Amino acid sequence: MELNPLFNLDAIPARPEPTGLLYGEDVLSVAQFDRDKIDYIFTRANEMREMVKRVGKFDLIPDKVAACIFYEPSTRTSSSFIAAMQRLGGSVIPITSGVSFSSVSKGETLGDTMRVLEQYADVVVLRHPEVGAAKEAASAASVPVINAGDGPGEHPTQALLDLFTIQDELGQIDGLKIAMLGDLRYGRTVHSLTKLLLQYDVQLRYVSPEVLRLPMNLMNRVIDSGRNVRETYSLADVIRDVDVLYVTRVQKERFSDLSQYEQVKNFYEITPEVMEEAKEKMIVMHPLPRVGEIPESLDSDPRAAYFRQAQNGMYVRMALLAGVLGRA
């Protein structure tokens, strides 16, 4: 076949050989990351931050396309992945504004959607309301699938960026006392972060109303790990001596009984007055969006780390995308 001479393929440099610890991997659960891999991702994420600070954008993966398909609403996670691709010089097929208009609503299986998307894209970023959907998608797709949240299941990239933030802000993870507060039952970020933290020597505090306690199976894992752990509904029990206060919103969309949601939705508020009790060197985190748990009046407190945490998300996702695409 004669090629159009304008293509002049011989003049285009060959693509580099893929390399790195994460090449070709799906990112489905925090269970796949041991401390070596976590350190590797953190080193890459720090490089990404340095690169963005110096030059804003770098063509590390200009030949790569990500399909970002979100079956649940998302603003932060989807834009963070899109920004990550763009800052690496890659491109995105953003399928984010609800998928009801697409063939999903025509009854296409998740597997078939993946088989089609992999014809266009080198990596698929998926958010889905059902636990296990990312795993199912990954078994159908030959390109890497990144789980951007599967219902109340897991949110591994969020947990990695949360851990990165703790390390970055406090200079260590081992030895810290970490409290998670709010919707511990449905909050997938809490589930993923808890599992990741079990690889570290930390003390854990879980603060929630009775109906939003951490699922029993996860609490049993924490107890079996031998970590020092306590559950309480009272913020006053923990506020004085925690190094990290990880706040979550109550996940309205997961309640089948909305009157139950109404009873617990305003259970905690981390006001500046509450923070007067907290240590001087500690941080308040939140995966965002916040819906009343943290007033804007706290934002100027240097301990309020949630927006820095969101920025870290982009660096960690850059590291993961470049990693699974073999350019880390």
> What residues are annotated to the active site?
76-77, 106, 127, 155
Q: How far is the CB of 248 from ligand ASP (least distance, A)?
A: 6
Half-sphere exposure for 277 (CA within 13 Å, toward CB): 13
Residues that bind ligand ASP (CB under 6 A): 76-77, 149, 155, 188-189, 248-249, 251, 287-288
Cα 254 to chain center, whole Å? Answer: 19
> Minimal CA–CA distance to 142: which of 174, 159, 119, 164?
119
Q: How far is the CB of 147 from ligand ASP (least distance, A)?
A: 11
Q: Cα(294)–Cα(14) distance, rounded to whole angstroms?
A: 51
* Residue 124, CA distances (Å) to 20, 91, 158, 304, 309 in order: 19, 12, 16, 32, 23
Q: How far is the CB of 296 from ligand ASP (least distance, A)?
A: 18
Shorter beta-carbon distance to ligand ASP: residue 285 or 319: 285
Q: How far is the CB of 16 from ligand ASP (least distance, A)?
A: 34
User: By Cβ distance, which residue is nearest to ligand ASP?
Assistant: 287
CB 155 within 8 A of CB 147: yes
If one counts every other C-beta atom within 10 angstroms of the C-beta of residue 294, the result is 24
